[in-house]
A = this chain, B = another copy of it.
Amino acid sequence: MNISMKSRYAVRALTELARIEQSQSGKPVRLGDIAERRGMPLQFLEQVFASLRRAGIVRSRRGASGGYALARSADEITVLEVVAALDGVPSPAECTQGRCDQVDGCGASSVWIEAQQALEQVLGGTTIGDLLRREDAQRAVAPMYQI
Interface residues of A (CB under 8 A from B): 1-3, 8, 11-12, 15, 38-39, 79, 90, 92-93, 95, 102-108, 110-112, 114-115, 118-119, 121-123, 126, 130-135, 138-139, 142, 144-146
Contact = CB atoms under 8 A, between A and B. Distances in A.
B92 A2 contact: yes
Contact of A119 (B39, B115, B130, B135): B115
A133 B107 CA distance: 8
Contacts of A131: 107-108, 110-111
A110 B93 contact: no
Contact of A106 (B104, B110, B130, B135): B135
Nearest to A127: B111
A3 to B, nearest CB: 4
